[in-house]
């Protein structure tokens, strides 16, 4: 007896509909027809099924601060300054309430694993880490929550931070964060990176740093990707380092790109693009032809680098927008990174699923295949290729084989007399399901 069967889901636009059988929290089989019985069945009726969305980089502790102190200049400097001022007034209840709202939104929109970066510094101390540790327990049935000890205010610049990071790790943080550009000069920036690697090695943890978040390559504090890649290889840390933002990769001279991107791929570094923030804070000094400030996603993917996306911030000085919705972030990237062809849209969907899973170290247990954790999403659309453009309702979210979210929505259109109620608009031109591919669906 299986625990759950999702019947007749669209898992691949070119193959037949599939039944997905689940036992003991894992996918038991994916087949055109599962013969066994189950305690519960969901009828997908041809709707799309994908693995649960992964949010690999988000800051729940500083969400929803925008209304308290808006970022008037729209720059990274003011975002850090305003947030530091607000942090001094945090209470544990306030942090927990705002963080919980983010988790709630993420779960409702189909995120089944989330990596949070709470600030760890002499202002906030361990308030964010403690709030998220409590929420990790409270949300254990619906969400896997990883916690990164993130030194937003710098390490050298903010004495006492390294000790606080050690304490965060002792309490249960899963990864070592970093913010090496927020130091006084390149010497301190490199020392910051070295401290992160040392802490990670001492505790056997992965590394996930915010780096190279600027428009130009003229300040060496914002061009550390090569240093980090070489250090990753030297320390034997391949596959265990993720870097957020890395927008200056887009400003690297064309002739220097191939060797740098090859080095990043060789180091197994994951790049986590944060388009909502990157687009909002970048190009602020440009008076004409405003730059988008994104890492060059397509070139990086072509070079074999693992590239993921994430929300980063929800409605604060860094990003005044956000729903903690990975499909919304995906569509934003499609628009702004010139990733509109069917194959490119599928690549973006992988950045929110399989690539994001790899970026946070769960690539070997994640995916829509037998033996993998049964974290699944049934979407209100009928082609995998339409997931980003349709932004469909998340009809069912399944976490470790349990249904954790159901969405029911009724929309009625009231037309004038003489039309039949419930009439559907005429179908558009027939679509060719074989235009997609270039790597296929997230599995």
Binding positions for Zn ion, rule: CB under 5 A: 312
- The nearest distance, CB 57 to Zn ion, in angstroms, is 6
Q: Which is nearer to Zn ion, 71 or 312 (CB)?
A: 312
Nearest to 176 by CA among 152, 154, 153, 197: 197
Say if CB 189 and CB 214 are below 8 A apart.
Answer: no
**Which of 8/312 has CB closer to Zn ion?**
312
Tell me the C-alpha distance between 95 and 208, whole Å. Answer: 22
Q: Which is nearer to Zn ion, 48 or 65 (CB)?
A: 65
Q: Tell me how far apart the alpha carbons of residues 180 and 162 are, in angstroms, rounded to a whole number.
A: 13
Minimum CB separation from Zn ion for residue 169, in Å?
19
Q: Least distance from C-beta 181 to Zn ion, angstroms?
A: 12
Q: Which is nearer to Zn ion, 190 or 210 (CB)?
A: 210
CA distance 304 to 266: 9
CB of 380 to Zn ion, least distance (A): 31
Comparison of 110 and 177: residue with beta carbon closer to Zn ion: 177
Measured from the CB of residue 208, what is the shortest distance to Zn ion in angstroms? 9
d(CA 66, CA 59): 13
Nearer of residues 62 and 358 to Zn ion, judged by Cβ: 62
Cα four-point dihedral sign 424, 426, 431, 436? negative
* Closer residue to Zn ion, CB minimum distance, 10 or 210: 210
Sign of the Cα torsion 196, 197, 202, 206 reads positive
Q: Nearest approach, Cβ of 121 to Zn ion (angstroms)?
A: 14
| Residue 161 token pair | 């931070």
- b vs e for 44-59, b when ≥16 Cβ sit within 10 Å of the residue's Cβ? beebbbbbbbbbbbbb
Q: In angstroms, what is the minimal distance from the CB of 376 to Zn ion?
A: 28
Q: Least distance (Å) from Zn ion to the CB of residue 318?
A: 7
Between 297 and 441, name the residue whose CB sits nearer to Zn ion: 297
Please provide residue 418's backbone torsions phi and psi, each rounded to the nearest 5 degrees.
95, -5
Contacting residues for 284 by C-beta, under 8 A, at least 6 apart: 73, 74, 75
The minimum distance between CB 385 and Zn ion, in angstroms, equals: 30
- Nearer residue to Zn ion within complex by CB, 314 or 347: 314
Residue closer to Zn ion, measured from CB, 182 or 381: 182
What is the closest distance, in whole angstroms, from the C-beta atom of residue 177 to Zn ion in the complex?
9
Nearest approach, Cβ of residue 249 and Zn ion (Å): 16
Angle, helix 225-234 to helix 186-203, in steps of 10 degrees: 30
**Nearer to Zn ion by C-beta: 169 or 246?**
246
Neighbour order of strands in the sheet with 394-399: 48-51, 376-379, 394-399, 402-406
The residue number whose beta carbon is nearest to Zn ion equals: 312
């Amino acid at each position: 007896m299986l625990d759950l069967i999702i019947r007749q889901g669209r898992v691949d636009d070119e193959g037949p509909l599939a039944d997905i059988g689940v036992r003991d929290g894992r996918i038991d089989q994916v087949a055109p027809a599962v013969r066994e019985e189950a305690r519960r069945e969901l009828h997908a009726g041809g709707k799309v099924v994908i693995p649960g969305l992964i949010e690999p980089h988000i800051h729940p502790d500083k969400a929803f601060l925008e209304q308290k102190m808006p970022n008037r200049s729209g720059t990274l400097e003011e975002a850090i300054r305003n947030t530091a001022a607000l942090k001094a007034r945090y209470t544990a209840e306030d942090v927990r309430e705002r963080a919980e709202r983010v988790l709630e939104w993420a779960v409702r929109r189909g995120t089944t694993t989330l990596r949070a970066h709470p600030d760890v510094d002499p202002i906030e101390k361990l308030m964010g880490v403690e709030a998220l540790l409590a929420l990790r327990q409270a949300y254990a049935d619906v969400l896997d929550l990883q916690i990164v000890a993130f030194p937003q205010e710098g390490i050298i610049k903010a004495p006492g931070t390294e000790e606080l990071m050690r304490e965060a790790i002792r309490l249960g943080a899963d990864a070592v964060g970093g913010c090496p550009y927020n130091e006084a000069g390149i010497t301190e920036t490199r020392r910051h990176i070295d401290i992160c690697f040392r802490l990670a090695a001492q505790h056997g943890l992965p590394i996930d740093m915010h780096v190279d978040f600027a428009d130009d390559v003229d300040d060496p504090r914002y061009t550390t990707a090569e240093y980090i890649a070489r250090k990753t290889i030297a320390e034997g840390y391949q596959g265990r380092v993720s870097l957020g933002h890395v927008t200056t990769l887009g400003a690297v001279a064309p002739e220097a790109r191939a060797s740098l991107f090859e080095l990043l791929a060789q180091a197994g570094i994951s790049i986590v693009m944060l388009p909502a923030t990157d687009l909002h804070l970048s190009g602020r000094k440009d008076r004409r032809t405003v730059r988008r400030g994104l890492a060059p996603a397509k070139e990086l993917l072509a070079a074999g680098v693992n590239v993921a996306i994430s929300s980063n911030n929800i409605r604060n000085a860094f990003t005044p927008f956000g729903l903690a919705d990975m499909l919304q972030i995906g569509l934003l990237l499609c628009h702004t990174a010139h990733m509109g062809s069917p194959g490119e849209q599928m690549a973006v969907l992988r950045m929110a699923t399989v690539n994001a899973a790899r970026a946070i170290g769960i690539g070997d247990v994640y995916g829509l295949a037998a033996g993998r954790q049964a974290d699944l999403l049934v979407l209100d659309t009928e082609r995998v290729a339409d997931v980003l453009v349709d932004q469909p309702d998340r009809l069912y979210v399944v976490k470790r084989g349990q249904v954790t979210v159901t969405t029911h929505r009724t929309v009625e259109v009231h037309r004038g007399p003489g039309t039949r109620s419930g009439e559907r608009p005429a179908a558009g031109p027939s679509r060719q399901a074989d235009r997609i591919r270039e790597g296929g669906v997230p599995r």
